[in-house]
Amino acid sequence: MSKARAYIKRFIPSLVPISHLERLRASLGALLGILLTGLISSYALGAGASLPLLIAPMGASAVLLFAAPASPLAQPWSIVGGNTISSLIGVTAALLIPDPVVAAAVAVGLAIAIMLLLGCLHPPSGAVALTAVLGGPAIHEAGYWFVLSPVAINSVVILLIALAFNNVTGRRYPHLAQAPTLHGTSDPAPTHRLGIVPEDLQAVLAQYGEVVDVSPEELDALIHQAQIRAFNRRSGEITCAEIMSRDVATATPETTLRQAWQTLIKHHIKALPVVTEKDGLVGIVTQTDYMKHAMLTPQGGIRQRLGNVIGFGPKTPRLVSDIMTRKVQSALPETMIAKLVPPMSDMGLHHMPVVDPDNRLLGVVTQSDLIAALFQRRLERGEERDVA
């Protein structure tokens, strides 16, 4: 009985768990996508058009665009290129091959081959090729006009809707898993230089030799997140509260730039959290902020420009609020330090403010704090192995 149950389970896909909110988001996106595509196509083609205003494969495209926008099969070139090329092949097959069954088979097979060759594989496009052959007299009479209307129009419209809807609802689309490095060089980010590297993934995928519905970049990002999680588990759950600096030099939005600069120099630090009177974190001002504003000053050498920003020159910003960075990434006291590694190594953050649930500043974790904690933990684990 257990063998039979195990065999049956092979027919059920193992899907990644998703939240109820994500299910609602995807369903609402598909609803809006199909509705607006139909309305816009109706306006563009006219209500009395002999061709269908919506072709059935758009429903399958909607599943990918709104429920799986990260899939390589759902990217813009996949839907526009795949649908257009497949419709072109389908119309050609219908015109050249009298037997509709043979024409349908040739159209679908050739469409898959060309899509794989051109890197625009889109599963619904197989149905587009089939529709071009078996769609009925109206489609046959339209000939190659079917490629433009409704296929290309439907594809472009639903793509534009997906671009807007996915980004508004917090899903990057087109999906770019690998962000550019901080310094704009070809080197991978620091956390991607050890362990599994992209070349390893490419070699394994090439050996696997089948279509995988996830991009190598997305797979690489997921693997590194899993590695960080595993490291987090092995590191002994060291939290920000254990290593953060509590006696933190700060500024307020009303602090003059000269006063803030003097504080930076006095304490030999590179950043000041900016807080309100009740210690609410509202920004951070760094030496980089001063330098950026100095470069925008229209006259003088760099020392004179910096002096103008600090407050020695006329008609220049005088307060911290004029130059501070307002979007600040922060952590909670219970945040485990392994989660600070990506932003501090890959994003170049030197300071991570630690706040309570009400966004009141409690302390700061610096790169030095993080390195010291990781080094100390490594020493402790080494001593534990020696004792064992």
Asked whether the predicted pLDDT for residue 183 surpasses 50, the reply is no
Which pair of structure tokens corresponds to residue 149? 């209307």
Of 7-11, 15-19, 30-34, which one has max mean pLDDT? 30-34
- Quote the percentage of the chain above a pLDDT of 70: 81
Output 44 or 328, whichever has higher pLDDT: 328
Using CA atoms, how far apart are residues 325 and 272, in angstroms rounded to an integer?
11
Q: Predicted confidence band at 14 (pLDDT cuts at 50, 70, 90)? A: confident
Of 54 and 163, more confident: 163
- Of the candidate ranges 232-241, 301-310, 342-351, the one whose mean pLDDT is the lowest: 301-310
Distance CA 339, CA 177 (A): 18
The residue to which tokens 């609803």 are assigned: 31
Write down the pLDDT at residue 294: 67
Give 57 or 322, the one with higher predicted confidence: 57
Q: What is the DSSP letter of 295?
A: H
pLDDT of residue 238 exceeding 60, the answer is: yes
pTM over 0.85: no
Q: Could you tell me which residues come within 8 angstroms of residue 321 by beta carbon, excluding any fewer than 6 positions away? A: 253, 254, 274, 283
Give the highest mean pLDDT range of 49-63, 241-255, 296-310, 334-348.
241-255
State the pLDDT at residue 291. Answer: 78
Distances (CA, A) of 103 to 73, 106, 151, 297: 25, 5, 19, 69
The mean pLDDT value of the chain amounts to 84
